[in-house]
Amino acid sequence: MERVSLLQSDANGAREVSPARTAARVEALAKLPVFWGLEGKRVVLAGGTEGACWKAELLAACGAEVHVYAPDDTLCDVFADMLLRHAADSATGQARGAFVHHAQGWTAGVLAGAALAIADCEEDDEARAFHAAAIAAGVPVNVIDKPAFCQFQFGSIVNRSPVVVAISTDGAAPILAQAIRRRIETLLPQSLKGWSALAQSLRDAVAMRLHPGPERRAFWERFVDRAFTSVPTPQSAADLVAEADRLAAGRRETRDGPAPGKVTLVGAGPGDAELLTLKAVRALQAADVILFDDLVSGDVLELARREAKRMLVGKRGGRTSCKQEDINAMMVTFAKAGKTVVRLKSGDPMVFGRAGEEIACLEAHGIPVDVVPGITAASALASRLGVSLTHRDHTHAVRFITGHSRKGCLPTDVDWRACADPRTTTVFYMGGRTAPAIAERLMAEGMAGNMPVVIASDISRAEERRWHGTVSTMHIGIAEIGYDNPVLIGVGSVFPRASAESHMVAPDDSSECPLQRISI
């Protein structure tokens, strides 16, 4: 993972960061992923096995003219049936590509001028001979299931043509490639095939109407939102052209300045990038500017668009901190300059994220604003512990409460008596320094001193630490967890691992840390 390094800071404490180029721009590749056009090209395929049949179908689907060299008595039934079906489809104009069956074995002479050479050879001697002949003819060669005789390999594919996704493990773990393919299949709707074909047909019309850069990107971002949420209809093409016209009209109406941008408040979750929503990833990929909190993990930022301007606006000890007013002003300034802005917040932006103030400010300036929720820390804690915060055998309510007031002390506008109810699960955010006072107040309102408590920091990250104990021993737990990083305090009988004896769960230092702090 590339780390993030400081480029510059401004008077408001915001800092622009970008991926450091301390290593090669592109990491080492086992193989170069290449998508090769075969429309109308001649391909030589030697062998009549089922494995060869699958490769033949794949090549024909690409529009190739596949010359199959296999004596009739070596052509398996599956291959023979496929050739008959393809011939019938060709007669009705429904087939793609073509097959020419040569009822004989291959010879070196048939390889000349071929686009590709593929063979299924049982013996290594035959594989070696085919490999050598293809190389001598200057034709890229693949011998099925014999990596030593392959200049290229076939990967697992996800077909939403013209969108095609290929996965390769360099032959090391084909089962892993298949598992990855299955996961991608679930992410890409079948309707993507229709949308991608529509994109091809509209590209010239969009290019005629919209300027390169932010204008076209805005159109295609809206296109992508449709592609992942609906099915194309006969009216879709006309609707999209009309949308391009509207964007162009908006540009003509704002010749004295750029068309206004927009702001999206995005929840980055507790730290683990795999907990991001698909919508959050799409927002990061579409951003021109990202204003992110200090608690956002480096792995989350790695998913952002490379060209995006990144501004660190969170608080961090030892330097000037951004005030909320400064953050609001930056969002307004960038959006009015026509930028697509992502305000990236740890956890969920609507839970103790001051999102209300930011939304009000943006709406007051007429700037469109969207919100993409994230997994809040309390949900992540419950997941890590394997407990339900609303287990009906233990609780009838759950409360999320800030652990400190604006002045940094215990909040006074909290219904502490309700929090002390033994049938309520309470999770305190940002309550590290007030933890002893929280415990005292809960017990003063009648909560039993042996009520289970869990204190956690860096939830979902490799450096996560947890302490289990009780309300009466909470002061011990917070001293062990420390105050360096924000902590979460869970109080309630739903936490079954808590006991009268405190118990620390520390990160496994022996394992490689996949999530790293941003280096400033």
Segment 374-410, tens digit of pLDDT: 999 999 999 999 999 988 888 888 999 988 877 778 8
Show me where the domains of the chain are located.
4-20+260-375, 42-151, 192-253, 378-505
CA dihedral 129, 135, 140, 143 (to 10 degrees): 20
487 close to 451: Cβ distance less than 8 angstroms = no
CA torsion sign for 405, 409, 413, 418 is positive
CATH topology of domain 378-505: 3.30.950
Q: Could you read off the pLDDT of 236-267 as tens digits, one per residue?
A: 999 999 989 888 887 655 445 556 788 999 99
In the predicted model, is pLDDT for residue 181 greater than 80?
A: yes
Annotated catalytic residue within 315, 323, 415, 508? 315
- pLDDT at position 198 over 60: yes
Mean pLDDT over 293-300 rounds to 89
30 backbone dihedrals φ, ψ, rounded to 5°:
-65, -40
Q: Which fold has domain 42-151?
A: Rossmann fold (3.40.50)
Of 135, 130, 188, the C-alpha closest to 159 is 188
Determine whether 315 is an active site residue.
Answer: yes
Per-residue pLDDT, 10: 57
Looking at residue 315, what is its pLDDT? Answer: 62
Whether a cis peptide bond, with omega within 30° of 0, leads into 162 is yes
CATH 3.40.1010.10 for domain 4-20+260-375, yes or no, is yes
Structural contact between residues 243 and 221, judged by C-beta atoms closer than 8 angstroms = no
pLDDT digit string, tens, across residues 433-444: 899 999 999 999
Q: Given this model, what pLDDT does residue 517 score?
A: 30
Across the range 178-201, mean pLDDT stands at: 88
Alpha carbons 158 and 185: distance in angstroms, whole number: 6
CB 7 within 8 A of CB 17: yes
**Which one of 120, 288, 293, 299 is the catalytic residue?**
293
421 catalytic residue (yes or no): no
Task: Give the residue among 412, 429, 428 at the shortest CA–CA distance from 492.
Answer: 428
Interval 231-235 mean pLDDT: 91
What pLDDT is stored for residue 12 in this prediction?
60
Task: Say if residue 172's pLDDT is above 50.
Answer: yes
Q: Tell if the pTM clears 0.85, that is, is over it.
A: no
